[in-house]
Chains A and B, each alone.
Chain A
Amino acid sequence: MRFLLAIALLAPAAVAEEGGDVQRVHVVEKRPFNEASRFELSVFGLGQVNPRFTVHAGIGAELSYHLRENLAAQIGASYNAIAHQSALTEELAAKVDQQPLAANALLLQADVLAGLELMPIYGKISIFGGNVLRLGLYMNAGIGAAKTQLQLRPADSNGGRTFGDTGFRPEAALGIGTRIFAGDRFTIRIELRDRLYSAYVSKVNGCTAQDAQAIRVNGTSATNLSPGCRPSAFGGTDEEVKSGAGSAAVQIAQPSSNVINNLALQGGVSWLF
C-alpha cells in the first residue's frame, strides 16, 4: 500500500522532468474591446514646444468617429488662452530696438480642424509590474482654418499687451501620439501636433500700413481709410489707438509672408461611447 502511494506521488514530478523541453507558444489574445463604430470625445491641454518668437498655451476639444478599429474621422477646435510674443521677442524690442518680421511672430488665437487618424500600432504597458494597460500609437492629419492676431505692444507697456486682428488663415496639421486605454471607455492621450498656417500679413484690424500711419497721427478721427479698417480696434483710448496703430504701421510697413510651424504638445483624456 505504501509503495503504491509513493509511486502515485512521485509520478507527476517524473513526468514533468521528462517533458522539460522549453516550448515556444504564440498566443493570440482577443482584444477585450473594440473602438470600431464608436464616437470618442477628447479634451486637451496644449502648449507650444518651439517658442522662438511666440508663446502659445490653451485648450482643445476633438470629436472622433472610429470608422474601423484603426481608422477614425475627426473634427476639433482649439483656443490659445495664452498667445503672445516670447520673452526673447519682447527683450529684443526693449534692449536693442529690434523685432521679428510680422509674419514670423503671427499668433494663433484659435483654430478648427477636420481630418483622419490612423492607429496602426498596438501595445501594452505595465506600471511598476502591476497594472497592465493597452495603448495605441497613432498619426493624424487634418486641414482647417486658423484665427490669427499680431501683438502690437509688449507686456511692460502702459496698459499691458495689446493685439491686432489679422484675420483667418488656411491651416494644416500633422500629429503623432499615443492613446492609453484605462478601460473600454476612458483613455489618456498624449500627442505632438504640428500646426502649419500661412502668415502673409498686410493688414491689421483691416487697416493697411498707410491707414495705420494715418491713425497713428490722427487717432480715431483719421480719414480716407480703407474699407473695413477699424481704428477703434487698436485700443480703448485715443492714446492707445495711436500707440497700437503706430506699432502696426512699423510691423506691416514691409508686408511679409511665411509658413509657421506651431509645434504643440497636447495631453488630455477622452471618452468612448
Chain B
Amino acid sequence: MRLSPISLSCVVICASALPARGEQVSATPPIPAGVQGKLYAMSHRWEVGVGFLTAVSSSLVDQTGGVLSITYHPNEWSDFGLELLANRTTFSDLSGQIRGSLPARSSALTGQPNTGDEISGVDQLRRGALAVARVAPIYGKVNLAGELAVHFQAYLLAGAGAASFSHESLNLCATAGSSACAPGDFQTSTSVEPVGEAGAGMRFYLGQRWSLRGEIRGFLFPATYLRNADLTQPGTGTPSRYIGFTATVGAGVSALF
C-alpha cells in the first residue's frame, strides 16, 4: 500500500499526538497561575451554623449570646437564609458605678424636684429573628507550618428582621419620691422592634462539610430615651428617638449538606 503525501502527513500528525508512556510519569506539571480553583464547592448546598456572639461596643450593657443560622447557597459566592438570636444581657460594672453616684432626685435646699435626661444606650437585645444574606467575593488559602494549607472565604453579610428588647433605665426610678432609687426599682419596659444588621466574616474550611467562622456584626435598631423627666415622678419626660447600635464579635461552626 502506498500512502499519499497528504495521508502520510495526517498519520504522522495523529501519531505525534500519542503521549509517550515515559512522558506521563516525568512530565513537569504546569505551574498554576494561582489558587487552583475552589477546593471546597458551595453551590446548591444548605448550611447550618451555630455560634456565639458577644457585644464589644456597649459600655453599659454586657451582652453574650448565640446565633443559629440556616442558609442556602445558590452559587459559590452567596447564600441567604434565616438566623435566630438569643442573648443573655446584664448591666455592666460601669453601669453599677454610675448608679452608685446618681444625682439627688430633688433639691436639698428647696425640696423642689430635679429634672434630667435619661441615659441612652441601655437597650438590651434579647431575642431576634432575621433574614440574612451573605456575599463571599474572596476565596483564598494560606500555608501554615509545613504543607498545611488553610482554605478560607471572606464575606460580607446583611440582614433584617425583628427582635425583642428589654429597656431598663439606668437613672430613672420606677417609684415616685425623692429618696434614692432602690436596687431593682428602675423604670423598665419591653418591646419588639425592627432590627437590621451588617457585618463581615471569615470562613475557614475544615473539610467538605465543616468550617469555622469568625464574624463581626453591627446591629441597628430604633431606641428611645426620656428628656426633661421629673426625677421624682415616673412616667414624665418626652421620648426622644435615636438609632441604637450594638457591635458584636463572634465565632462558630457550620456544616454544609
Q: Which residues of A contact B (CB under 8 A)?
A: 1, 4-5, 8-9, 11-12, 15-16, 19, 25-27, 29, 49-52, 88, 91-92, 94-98, 121-129, 132, 135, 137
Asked, given contacts A29-B32, A128-B77, whether A122 binds B143 with beta carbons under 8 Å apart, the answer is yes
Q: List B138-187 residues whose CB lies under 8 Å from chain A.
A: 138-144, 147, 150, 154, 171
Shortest distance from the beta carbon of B241 to any chain A beta carbon, whole Å: 16
Interface centre among B14, B29, B56, B137 (most CB of A within 10 A): B14
What residues of chain B lie closer than 8 Å to A95, measured between beta carbons? 116-119, 171
Residue pair A91, B120 in contact (C-beta under 8 Å): yes
Task: Check: B108 CB closer than 8 A to any chain A CB.
Answer: no
What residues of chain A lie closer than 8 Å to B7, measured between beta carbons? 1, 5
Q: Which residue of B lies closest to A100 (CB)?
A: B94
What residues of chain B lie closer than 8 Å to A9, measured between beta carbons? 14
Residue pair B32, A27 in contact (C-beta under 8 Å): yes
Task: Check: B109 CB closer than 8 A to any chain A CB.
Answer: no
Shortest distance from the beta carbon of A148 to any chain B beta carbon, whole Å: 21
Q: CA A78 – CA B211 in complex, angstroms?
A: 38
Q: CA A8 – CA B13 in complex, angstroms?
A: 9
Asked, given contacts A15-B18, A27-B31, A96-B102, whether A125 binds B140 with beta carbons under 8 Å apart, the answer is yes
Task: Pick out which of these stretches binds chain A: B33-41, B46-54, B125-133.
Answer: B33-41
Q: CA A132 – CA B35 in complex, angstroms?
A: 7
Q: List B4-52 residues whose CB lies under 8 Å from chain A.
A: 7, 10-11, 14-15, 17-19, 21, 24, 29, 31-35, 38
What residues of chain B lie closer than 8 Å to A96, measured between beta carbons? 98, 101-103, 116, 119, 171
13 contacts between A and B (CB under 8 A): A8-B11, A12-B18, A19-B21, A50-B56, A95-B116, A95-B171, A97-B103, A123-B140, A124-B34, A127-B137, A132-B35, A135-B140, A135-B142
What residues of chain B lie closer than 8 Å to A98, measured between beta carbons? 98, 101
Shortest distance from the beta carbon of A181 to any chain B beta carbon, whole Å: 12
The main secondary structure of chain B at its interface with chain A is: loop
Residue pair A5, B11 in contact (C-beta under 8 Å): yes
Residue pair A129, B76 in contact (C-beta under 8 Å): yes
What residues of chain B lie closer than 8 Å to A49, measured between beta carbons? 56
Residue pair B19, A12 in contact (C-beta under 8 Å): yes
What residues of chain B lie closer than 8 Å to A11, measured between beta carbons? 14-15, 17-18
Residue pair A29, B31 in contact (C-beta under 8 Å): yes
Residue pair B31, A5 in contact (C-beta under 8 Å): no
Q: Which residue of A lies closest to B4 (CB)?
A: A1
Shortest distance from the beta carbon of B98 to any chain A beta carbon, whole Å: 6
Q: Which 9 A-B pairs have the closest CB atoms?
A: A132-B34, A123-B142, A125-B140, A8-B14, A126-B35, A52-B59, A25-B29, A95-B117, A12-B17
Q: CA A29 – CA B36 in complex, angstroms?
A: 12
Q: CA A5 – CA B171 in complex, angstroms?
A: 94
What residues of chain B lie closer than 8 Å to A29, measured between beta carbons? 31-32
Asked, given contacts A5-B7, A126-B140, A129-B76, whether A88 binds B59 with beta carbons under 8 Å apart, the answer is yes
Shortest distance from the beta carbon of A3 to any chain B beta carbon, whole Å: 10
Residue pair B139, A125 in contact (C-beta under 8 Å): yes
Residue pair A5, B10 in contact (C-beta under 8 Å): yes
Shortest distance from the beta carbon of A9 to any chain B beta carbon, whole Å: 6
Residue pair A132, B11 in contact (C-beta under 8 Å): no
